[in-house]
Structure 1
C-alpha cells in the first residue's frame, strides 16, 4: 500500500533520505572549514532526528527555549546553547539545567548577568548577543561601552564563563541574490571581529569565540572562517524560502504537507484543500506582487513531484487552503485526491503539525507541547 493511501487529513511528510543527506552535506562542509558545528534543533524538535546528527559526529547543539533544552537534555545531549535572551522568570530552571549539562546562555544587559551570577552556582557559559544588522535582539556591534560592562560583570561571578560573541544575521533572509548573502556574512564577521579586537585591546577578554548561524549563509558561503562556530537549523529540511534565496534546490526540501482536495472550482482556477493556517502557518512570500503560502506538488513514485509550474497556495483561513492552478493542472485533480504543499517556512509548519510521517510509513514524534 502506498504511503498516500493511509493519509486522511493534513499530514507532514518527511523524506528521510533527503534529510539525512542535508545533515551529512552540512556536517562535511563545516568540517572542511575547520569550524565548530552546533546546529540549531528548533526546526525539527525531535530526539529521533537528533540521532541522525549524532551519526554525522555532532555533539553540541543549539535550542530556542528552556523547555527545548530540557527535552534534548533528556535525550542525552549534554552540550546545549540556549540561543534566546535569558528569561529572568526561568532562572531556577536555567540553574537546574546548568547542574545537569554544559549550558550556554545569551545576555545583552548587565541586569541579566547579575541575576545569573547571583542565582546560578554550576558553571555556565555566557555569550554576548550582538546585533550585526538584523535589528531583533542583541547589543549593537559598535556599542563598546555595553560590551565592556557585560564582560566586567561576567568576570565578577565565578560560575559565569564568558565564551564569546554570538549573532544571527537574519537580514540574509531579505537578500535578493546569493552574492548578497555572502556579503552580509562577511560584513557580519567583520563587525564581530571589530568588537572582539576592541575588547582585547582594553585587556578585558582574550580568545573570545565568534559564533554565527543562519541557513542562507551556511548554505551559500563556502568557507566559514574567520567564524569559530556556526549554528544553522533550517537546512535540515530547507523550504521554499531557502530555495528562492538560492540556498538549496527543490530536491533539498525534505518535508511536504499532504492535504486532501475537498472541492474544485475550474471557473475560478482554484482548488480548495483541507490544510490551512493552523497547518502551514501564515508565513508567506511575494512573487510579482502576489502573496503565496506554499507551492503545489503531486504524489509521485512514493514521494512528491517537482512543484507544478505556476501553481501556489494563494489564500489561507484556519482550516482551508486555496490553490491557484492552471486549467490543465485542475484537470489532473479529483475531489478526494491529495496534493503536497512545499512550505514557505518549514520550521513553522513543523511546529504547527507536531509530528512527521516518513515515506516508509513511520511516525516521528516531536517534543511535547508544554
Structure 2
C-alpha cells in the first residue's frame, strides 16, 4: 500500500489485505481436509463474488448464505450447492422453488409448517433441521426430541424432501471470555447434537456446525460432518477479545480521517460512525469498545494495535476515540487512522466494497 493510495482515501474506507484473507481461508480449509469434514463456508461475511472465487482455489464447492437474494447472487457466479442458513421465509416460496430447479439447494426448518410449505413445491429440496444448543435465538431445543421427531415423521409424507441432517449455530461462543471457554461451548454443542441424533436413532443424519470462535480454536473436527464458519476470513476486534485469532490474522480495517482532536479530554474524533462500523460493541477495560485503533503502515496498510486506544462512542457519522494522554501527539486532524471493527461482517455489509492493498476495488452484492 503506497503513499499515493493512502492520499486518495478521503472518507471511511474498508481496506482489505488479500494475502491475509487467503491465509485464513487456507487455514480453515486445510483443517477441514485433515479432519475429513465438509467445508461449507458462510459467504454472508464477505458477500463478494471475487472473494468467493478465492475459496475455489482451496477446492471449496459448497457454500452457505443467509438469504434467498444472496443465493441468487452467488448462483450467477457458478455456485451450485448452496445452503440458506436462515429459517424459512414463507413469503419467498416461489423464489425458493425456482432456485431449487437450478441448483442443489438446502433449506433450514424448525417447525412442521415449514415442512408442509416446502413439501407443496414441485422440486426436490435438501432439508436441514435447526437445533438450539444454547444460543436461544430460534430453532428446536436440543433436549426436545419429540418436536424433532414430529418434523421427521411429517417430512416422510413428502418424498421430494430429503432430510440431510441437523444444523446448529453455537453463537453463544461469542459471549465467551476466553478461547478455552469458546472451545468448551463449541464442544458442548457438538455433544448435544450427537446425543440428540443418537436418541432419535437416526445415525445417517449429518451434523453441521458453524461458529468461528469454536471452529478457529479446536485443533481438529470430530463427531461432526460439516462446518460453516464465515467470520474467520476477516476476524475482528471481538474475535481478538475472545482469543479466537491473533492480531496479525485480522485482514480488514476501516481507514478513517481524523477530523478533530481534544487534548483537554484525551479524545480524538474521526469521520467514521455507526453507519460505517455498526453499533456492535463489547466492554473493554470497563468501558464500551466499538473498535480498536491500529498504527498506520504505508507498506502493510496497518501495523500494531495502539495499546489503550479504542473507539468508545459512536453517533451516525462521528466516532470518538479515547487516547492515553501520552499518545495524543500522534493524532492530528487530516491524518488517517485504521480502525479494527468489532464485528467485521456488519462493517463489510455497511461499507459495500473493499479497497485492496494493491489499489484495486472489490465490489459486494447489491442491496
> Please, what TM-score do these two structures have when normalized by structure 2?
0.97
Residue deviations 1:168-213 (CA, integer Å, cap 9, x gap)? 011111112222222212211111111111222xxxx450000001
CA contact (8 A) 2:11 2:256 kept: yes
Contact 1:236 1:254 in 2 (8 A): yes
Pick from 283, 295, 315 the counterpart of residue 317 of structure 1: 315
Alignment correspondent of 2:189: 188
Name 1:281's counterpart in structure 2.
278
Match of 1:126 in 2: 127
Q: 8 Å contact 2:177–2:241 — kept in the other structure?
A: no
Q: Which runs of 4+ in 1 moved over 4 A?
A: none
2:25 is the alignment partner of 1:27: no
1:254 has 2:251 as partner? yes
- Flag structure 2 segments of 5+ consecutive residues without an equivalent: none
User: What is the RMSD computed on CA atoms of the aligned residues?
Assistant: 1.0
Match of 2:364 among 363, 366, 369: 366
2-structure distance, mates of 1:307, 1:240: 10
Equivalent position SS for 1:218: helix
CA contact under 8 A between 2:193 and 2:207: conserved in structure 1? yes
TM-aligned CA deviation for residue 298 of structure 1: 2.5
Q: Secondary structure at the match of 1:27?
A: helix
**What is aligned with 2:10?**
8
Q: Matches of residues 139-288 of structure 1 in structure 2 within 5 Å?
A: 139-200=140-201, 205-288=202-285
Instruction: Give the SS at the match of 1:305.
Output: strand
Alpha-carbon distance in structure 1 between the residues aligned to 2:254 and 2:229: 23
Gaps of 5+ in 1: none
TM-score (norm 1): 0.97
Task: Work out whether residues 10 and 258 of structure 1, in 8 Å CA contact, stay in contact via their aligned partners in 2.
Answer: yes
Partner Cα distance (1:255, 1:165) in 2: 32
Does the CA-based 8 Å contact 1:298-1:338 persist in structure 2? no
Note if 1:97 corresponds to 2:94.
no
